[in-house]
Structure 1
């Protein structure tokens, strides 16, 4: 039996701005879109992977009856070539820190339009 991450929920202020960021600047595709009342929940991910981010508008969680922690979880992406990936992100206008070694792992981090940081390992 194998267990893998299917998707990670990101609670966002502007789902459309975040969708554009992940697609146009990071290179993901839209995998699914679900209308929920006046809002839209969007899944984005890489075309050749099952994993996706589910972009859920914070407005949908206004009542939050389950008392969920709406903070963004830590997320790390893995790539074959750190330098090539970082260079591409920066070229696309993404703010990214320099590649360095953190806890024995070479990585860099970048942020999205809502100032959440994501790690990239190689």
Structure 2
């Protein structure tokens, strides 16, 4: 039986720029940055998180598996201090959308280094 999500694969054009975004702008930790032959994977996650993001080279994966879907997954992050995170991201020049009230709580979206959008929901 599956009991949790372990990793989310994020296929990116520039692994270094993506790694910098997730660590410097979002405050994630580097779990791994390894190369095995022509393959490199960069694993990042919020401190203490059960689920991580693995930044894979979109070009490399496309060559290895041309039929693979390389689009960006729709990911919802949770924050226990949405307002502070919002202000922090604005101060770091991260493109953010407005904070809106949704049926499940307050939420906003943000853009990564490759103009992919993700969302953050307030969870207290």
TM-score norm. by structure 2 comes to 0.89
Q: CA deviation at 1:37?
A: 2.5
Report the equivalent of 2:111.
111
Deviations 1:55-103 (A, max 9, x none): 0001211324362111111101001111111111111111101100235
CA contact 2:62–2:68 (8 Å) conserved in 1: no
RMSD: 1.8
Bigger drift between 52-61 and 97-106 goes to: 97-106
Report the equivalent of 1:102.
102
Query: Between Structure 1 and Structure 2, how many residues are aligned?
Result: 122
Using the alignment, how far apart are the partners of 1:98 and 1:91 within structure 2? 15
Using the alignment, how far apart are the partners of 1:116 and 1:74 within structure 2? 9
Using the alignment, how far apart are the partners of 1:18 and 1:80 within structure 2? 24
- Would you say 1:77 and 2:77 are equivalent positions? yes
TM-score norm. by structure 1 comes to 0.90
Query: Where does structure 1 lack aligned partners over 5 or more consecutive residues?
Result: none
Query: Where does structure 2 lack aligned partners over 5 or more consecutive residues?
Result: none
